[in-house]
Amino acid sequence: MTAYRPIAINHAHASENRIHADDIAQKYGFRGGLVPGVAIFGYMTHPVTRTLGAGWLGNSTVDVRFIKPAYDGEPLTIDFSDNCVNCRNDDGTLLSTMTIDCDDPLPPIDPRAALTPAAANPERPEIRWDRIDIGEPFAAERWQPTAEENLRYAEFVADDLPAYRDGLIHPHLMLHWANQVLVRRFVLPAWVHVGSEIRFRRPLRVNDTVELRTVPIDKWERKGHEFIKLYVAYLVDAQPSVEVYHTAIFKLAERA
């Protein structure tokens, strides 16, 4: 199959996460502001939907990993073969990988989806190691995606496939909300999404009423970076439609 060749665009220059701004990203040793990982995921899903149709968004297990950053204006080469998607830059550097399993039965629903959410989140404190309580649910978030929001997030990744004009929620927008549950709980001055494991059980659609339930399930330190892993359940009609295990570096190591 012919490789898909989009141009990476950083639509998050002005976001609260300053890792997308050139000056702050350069302080951490990056060339410039990072294109969000959820956007790279969005680009990577295009050849999958084009090849498999939209059905994979209702019955599959997906694992996406971000290895190296993509920068604004950088041409990408995305190959999809044997249920594996690889994203490279013009130098041939592997930026991210994704595997898709549409054949095996999905694992049972994670019991954390049934945990009672907190009554309310506290005022948004700046994230800190001792403020992350493993196993303690966040307050639930409510989300009702609109056609306009869905179209905007499809356009952010230059995706004009008809399925998303017909009301199917674009994967870029879907995974964006796994970021939202974290930033609505904590202030994170500069952080990096490094990967997600996703279980698509039912397609999300425009005007669905979605309850997002979030539980921090792990935190660890490696090479001076501090990581967090969240479990996020997207409930529609009280049943998980999507489950995401979402991993991020919430505190980047200082440069030597």
Contact call for residues 137 and 217 (beta carbons, < 8 A): no
What's the predicted TM-score (pTM) here?
Answer: 0.97
Tell me the CB-side half-sphere exposure of residue 254, using CA atoms within 13 A: 1
Tens digit of each residue's pLDDT (9 = 90 or more) over 159-189:
999 999 999 999 999 999 999 999 999 999 9
Query: Low-confidence residues of the chain, pLDDT below 70?
Result: 1, 256
List the strands of the sheet with 84-88, edge to edge: 77-81, 84-88, 94-101, 60-66, 192-200, 239-251, 225-236, 210-222, 141-143
Pairing mode, strands 94-101 and 192-200? unpaired
- The pLDDT value recorded for residue 1 is 65
Q: Domains plus CATH for the chain?
A: 18-104+112-251 (3.10.129.10)
- The pLDDT value recorded for residue 19 is 97
- The pLDDT value recorded for residue 255 is 78
Q: What single string gives the DSSP state of each residue in 180-242?
A: HHHHTTSB-SS-EEEEEEEEE-S--BTT--EEEEEEEEEEEEETTEEEEEEEEEEEETTEEEE
DSSP H or E stretch at residue 54: none
Q: Is 248 left (phi over 0), alpha (psi -120 to 50) or beta?
A: beta
Joined together, the tokens standing for residue 191 give 């952080």
Joined together, the tokens standing for residue 241 give 């439609």
Q: How distant, in Å, are the alpha carbons of 19, 20, 36, 110, 163 from that of 71?
A: 11, 9, 9, 35, 28
Contact call for residues 70 and 76 (beta carbons, < 8 A): yes
Joined together, the tokens standing for residue 72 give 């604004």
Contact call for residues 46 and 13 (beta carbons, < 8 A): no
